[in-house]
Chain A
């Protein structure tokens, strides 16, 4: 069950209901809002949006944005985003000419371009997210004593990073092998039911990242579920 399912009930209010409540057309909905944190939150968000009340620090940025959404030189409203659309249907021949020009220009460019080189320059090209993680992964009975992954050709060092799910870094270390032992202090931070993420990056001799794993979720199971 997701948090939203856990907290949002079938009796929760729709945006139209929230609007009616704000405007005094549905006062009976207030009783539900008083007991429902989800609808209280949704109502506060809608009220905040409609109020468009900017703080002093927001005023400057807001003025900057609005000036660009709506060019100041024009007294008649014509926002920048509107210019993404043609104000009137362009004549068909204009599109035809543009397309023909693109084809001609593209052909000329291709003529002057060299073909793909077959020369081997011995450079290493490794796609990101290529490191395959071996362990740990998923739900665990005990805190992992080491992190391991498949070695990457031409990697000089590997960097392991352990984070909380919100991105807060808990620990990071480097190694030259394809595994890294977990310090006891870090094992102790792995509390039951608390999800953590770890990832590993491979670096070449110059310290350039040449490959990276996807973030791997781990979670220590509580004793009752092992």
Chain B
């Protein structure tokens, strides 16, 4: 059984109808991947007890949705999307904050002394400009923290834990420096385009 791929295990587990959790193929499938799930959940949790609960929820949810797995990607990639979304939802629900970070991000990407960038550019140009500023202005960890905070809307304390940041102010320091650098990039862009 250990020679079988994940997708073959799923296929065999379905041979007798709907997959059962006690099916040896299902057990083998989850045995292979539960460590990935546990580690990911650990990084998105305040402590190991919470991570255990989260891991069990992800595994149970994955099992419930196993019949809908179509093989468009590998099982491990499919599991990753379930695990990632579940952990993000968990972190956001725990934070219980309204979604206002989108506006914050836009104000970062806006020219500092004038109207928002979106007033001046077509969407396609905004996209290219935002990408270039983020890519060219920010260091790797800053980019990661920026994306987690503004795209995935993760609270800063959760990002600090997830990335294992050990500096005094954690993710906040990276957001502050990213904000400054993007502001500078916006200012440069404005100067170039006004002249």
Contact = CB atoms under 8 A, between A and B. Distances in A.
Contacts of A132: none
B83, B84, B149: residue with the most chain A Cβ atoms closer than 10 Å: B84
B56 A81 contact: yes
Given A16-B73, A36-B131, A46 B147 contact: no
B106 to A, nearest CB: 7
A89 to B, nearest CB: 9
B117 to A, nearest CB: 9
Interface in A1-21: 1-4, 6-9, 14-16, 18-19
Interface string A182-221: 0000000000011101000000000000000001010100
A79 B103 contact: no
A65 B52 contact: yes
Interface stretch (A51-59, A107-115, A145-153): A51-59
A79 B118 CA distance: 51
Interface in A67-90: 68-70, 76-82, 84-85, 87-88
Q: Interface residue tally of chain A, by bracket?
A: 35 or more
Nearest to A66: B38
A170 to B, nearest CB: 13
B126 A1 contact: yes
A67 to B, nearest CB: 10
B155 A166 contact: yes
B34 A9 contact: no
Contacts of B48: 61, 64-65
A192 to B, nearest CB: 8
Given A38-B151, A69-B56, A194-B107, A167 B95 contact: yes
Contact of B21 (A57, A85, A194): A85
B81 A165 contact: no
B55 A65 contact: yes
Chain B contact residues, majority secondary structure:
helix
Interface in B40-69: 40-43, 48, 51-52, 55-56, 59-60, 63
Contact of A69 (B55, B81, B144, B150): B55
A54 B95 CA distance: 26
Given A6-B109, A15-B73, A15-B81, A49 B40 contact: yes
A52 B164 CA distance: 15
Interface string B70-103: 0011101110110110000000000101101111
A87 B20 CA distance: 7
Contact of B34 (A54, A69, A166): A69
Given A19-B77, A81-B59, A45 B131 contact: no
B162 to A, nearest CB: 10
| SS of A interface (majority) | helix
B81 A66 contact: no
Interface in B8-32: 20-22, 27-28, 30-31
A37 B27 contact: no
A70 B106 CA distance: 45
A62 B38 contact: yes
B187 interface: no
Given A3-B101, A167-B95, A54 B39 contact: yes
- Interface pairs A-B: 8 shortest CB-CB: A16-B73, A193-B107, A3-B105, A87-B22, A41-B147, A81-B56, A61-B48, A37-B134
Interface of B: 20-22, 27-28, 30-31, 34-36, 38-43, 48, 51-52, 55-56, 59-60, 63, 72-74, 76-78, 80-81, 83-84, 95, 97-98, 100-107, 109-110, 114-115, 118, 123, 126-127, 130-132, 134-135, 138, 143-144, 146-151, 155-157, 164, 172
Interface of A: 1-4, 6-9, 14-16, 18-19, 35-38, 40-41, 44-46, 49-50, 52, 54-55, 57-58, 61-62, 64-66, 68-70, 76-82, 84-85, 87-88, 165-168, 193-195, 197, 215, 217, 219, 224-225
